[in-house]
Structure 1
Amino acid sequence: MLNTDASGTTSSIGPGTALTCRLCGTTDLRSFCDLGATPPCELFLTEQTAQQPEQTFPLHVRVCNSCLLAQLPPEISPEETFEEYAYFSSFSSSWVDHARRFVDSAQERAGLDTGSFVVEVASNDGYLLQHVVAKGIRCLGVEPSVNVGEAAREKGVPTLTAFLTPETGARVRAEHGPADLVCGNNVFAHIPDVVGFAQGLRAMVADDGWVSIEVQHLLTLVERKQFDTIYHEHFQYYTLLTGQRALAAGGLTLVDVELLDTHGGSIRMWARPADVAGEPSAKVREVLAAEAAAGLHTPEGHDGFAEAVSTIRDDLVSFLIDARRQGKRVVGYGAPGKGNTLLNYCGIRPDLLEYTVDRNPYKHGRLTPGTRIPIFAPERIAQDRPDHVLILPWNLRTELTEQLSYVREWGGTLVFPIPSLEVV
């Protein structure tokens, strides 16, 4: 049971069970967004597992009243999620191109050459480090998932199967030398031990090196109502302020930031060991000021998001019910983790969404967790010619609008649920 006072502060999840902020250690947390209970978003069901009960876990984000870190309790361990993983980064061509551009810019910023050493944490299937390899720069991926790590090795990307801890960082440094650049794209939210992870980064990076962390920005999550990016793999949600504090806990100082369009709005934080960092850039001050103006540098400034989320649910469900009553056929495109948060929170099942498709063969023939919607190959859409296609990975809007342009041949439409319902 949640014990919540009139201010929205949640102090416990049961008798004697205190929620503790994983960054500063206080127990003074307040409710931010409660999406009920859902199964893990990447545990797609096979024909066999679909006959068995599914475990669900609370999906309730709180904000620390002290350090302001937005966070989920660690209901599921990283080992349960990532040792066998369904997400392969390379299936998104735009994401691979994004990684290539990052490598080009990082090479210039950090002065990388053939004598340099680059480490990527959560390197997935080698989508990014393949561009480092192509430049003749020595590199190493640190990736906990056995299956996607093997895909990286097949691309010629050296990969260590491990989670990043201070011990792992020290091991990498001892075996390979200090890294001129350590990067982590979309991993900083996935680790429950924020301080230990930051210490692991510091252990690997050279004393005059660079650390780059790309993570979704809580400011855009709130402004664009991106509640579906909340799922159990994401243990925390960062403003630049809380990201700065998390890096500092490991001995790293924020020196610069970039605002990116990826994942609906991300920040790329550049940090260095404290002794060589110097003063932060004007861009850091600018983004911090924007967060403060939006109220996200106070606990109370996070209030109101939950009500906006319920409006999105109501609009989407009403659209799907109306389509069913009119005899319209609605299918989905994509089976991302965020899509499963959306489907479960909205209670959307095959009576409202007949099936969805995905480019990843791993998911074909499986069912979405919780809602049990069948997943097929993308070619199924052209065969069936549905009236509406609900886009679940809305962050790839430009890429998917082009890929699905053929839907207009039979008068079909694309439906985008976030930040508000849009039928194109």
Structure 2
Amino acid sequence: MTRCRLCGSTALESVVDLGATPPCESFLAAEHLDAPEPAYPLHLRVCTDCWLAQIPPLITPEETFSEYAYFSSYSSSWVEHARVFVEDAAARLGLGEDSFVVEVASNDGYLLRHVLDRGVRCLGVEPSVNVGAAAREAGVPTLTAFLSPETGAAVRAEHGPADLVVANNVYAHIPDVIGFTQGLRALVADDGWVSIEVQHLLTLIEENQYDTIYHEHFQYYTVASAIRALASGGLALVDVELLPTHGGSLRLWARPEEAAGEPGPRVADVLAREKAAGLQELSGYTEFSARVAKVRRDLLRFLVDAAERGETVVGYGAPGKGNTLLNHCGIRPDLLPYTVDRNPYKHGRYTPGTRIPILPPDRIAADRPDYVLVLPWNLRAELTEQLAYVHEWGGRLVFPIPELSIVEVER
């Protein structure tokens, strides 16, 4: 990487180098276990001119999203998060039967189903063929396409301008951040709203959430860098909310520049927090790599010690973030014989790079392991409840981030 993808600067400084890993959602079928598996450098840098943190665009969105393994509806808490958002957005913006809502990267319709339930016209724009098909089967109108300025203009010409454009957990996933932002502007009405949810770099740094660095995530935002990114497409930030999702996220409320007005007080508040954390100077990034190394050492020490004692450790979940953690730590089936996942698409497949089998969740109750390593740690409350049955045989849960935590579970 020689230039910042947002401002074009060559002033890029290393934040953390995680080595080389396969794309985190490229789960392997059994017949591919003896085939070569490509791996790409995973090196986070920050631009000291616009402060956008980023990795090199070594894979394309087409490689990742043409067929995708992640279905949002398998997380109960995420579906509920979407329902509450739709309810609040409808009240805030006065959405009704005459309104039009577009969601970009709409996945399997987990959010737009709640829009439909309110009688509001909507459309999903989802690049993954298999996931978009699942949305249409559920009755959610969905266009299979990547968002670009041309796609946005075509949707607007056919369906009219959107009163609300939702882009949740996609703003980090596109290497052409300027073109994507221009696509958002093409979709939204001149007096409309854009709502974006994206992980907050502040919590990523403060809470050691380095496993959310993977090849699908090309950039990592602060409010300061998001303001610059939005402006590249003619949008202005007017409000921000701090959310607990994904370990700490931003909900950015933006409007076309001509309709935006002055930003609300929460924007200044978060900008001040980011500045106090040193995220607009190199001092805020220099210790991160050392803390990442400690997470790795602590997890490996626990797994090796458990194996030496003859205790069993299995995994729960096969999220993309888990594959960054497993590959960076070098965890293989000798230390983690399998993981389980609620998504049947992943059953019978293997984690990329580390080749750990992915099984149905009922395998845990059948095997009664001593420990369950929870890879989607961001769903800690939901999964602690789901895994309460582990208490029946004295099993314990292990959370690797922000620091190693071994917990008893109770019914």
Which bin holds the TM-score, normalised by the shorter protein? Answer: over 0.9
| Letter matched to residue 383 of structure 2 | L
Matched, 1:388 2:368: no
- Alpha-carbon deviation of 1:302? 1.7
2:58 aligned to 62, 70, 75, which one? 75
- Alpha-carbon deviation of 1:382? 0.1
Structure 2, unmatched stretches of 5+, are none
Matched, 1:321 2:304: yes
Sequence identity percentage: 72
Contact 1:117/1:137, CA 8 A, preserved across alignment: yes
SS in 2 for 1:175: helix
Q: Deviations over 1:299-341 (max 9, x none)?
A: 3422111110000000000000000000000000000000000
Contact 1:68/1:299, CA 8 A, preserved across alignment: no
Q: In 1, Cα distance between the equivalents of 2:318 and 2:331? A: 13
- Alpha-carbon deviation of 1:51? 1.2
Structure 1, unmatched stretches of 5+, are 1-17
2:170 corresponding residue in structure 1: 187
| Letter matched to residue 188 of structure 2 | V
- Alpha-carbon deviation of 1:297? 1.4
Deviating above 6 A after TM superposition, structure 1's stretches of 4 or more consecutive aligned residues are none
Contact 1:164/1:197, CA 8 A, preserved across alignment: yes
SS in 2 for 1:401: helix
- Alpha-carbon deviation of 1:111? 1.3
Matched, 1:149 2:132: yes
Aligned length: 407
1:337 corresponding residue in structure 2: 320
1:308 aligned to 271, 291, 294, which one? 291
- Alpha-carbon deviation of 1:396? 0.5
2:96 aligned to 110, 113, 117, which one? 113
1:60 corresponding residue in structure 2: 43
Contact 1:110/1:209, CA 8 A, preserved across alignment: no
Q: In 2, Cα distance between the equivalents of 1:119 and 1:362? A: 27
Give matches, 1:15-414, under 5 Å: 19-414=2-397
Q: In 2, Cα distance between the equivalents of 1:301 and 1:396? A: 27
Contact 1:123/1:141, CA 8 A, preserved across alignment: yes
TM-score (ref. length: structure 2) = 0.98
Q: In 1, Cα distance between the equivalents of 2:354 and 2:229? A: 35
| Letter matched to residue 48 of structure 1 | E
Q: In 2, Cα distance between the equivalents of 1:109 and 1:250? A: 24
Q: Deviations over 1:67-120 (max 9, x none)?
A: 110001000000000000000000001000000000011111211100000000
Q: In 2, Cα distance between the equivalents of 1:127 and 1:154? A: 12
Q: Deviations over 1:256-299 (max 9, x none)?
A: 00010000000000000111111111111000000000000123
| Letter matched to residue 79 of structure 2 | V
Q: In 1, Cα distance between the equivalents of 2:284 and 2:401? A: 22
Q: Deviations over 1:104-144 (max 9, x none)?
A: 11111211100000000000000000000111100000000
SS in 1 for 2:191: strand
Q: In 2, Cα distance between the equivalents of 1:204 and 1:384? A: 51
CA RMSD of aligned residues (A): 0.6
TM-score (ref. length: structure 1) = 0.95
SS in 2 for 1:367: coil
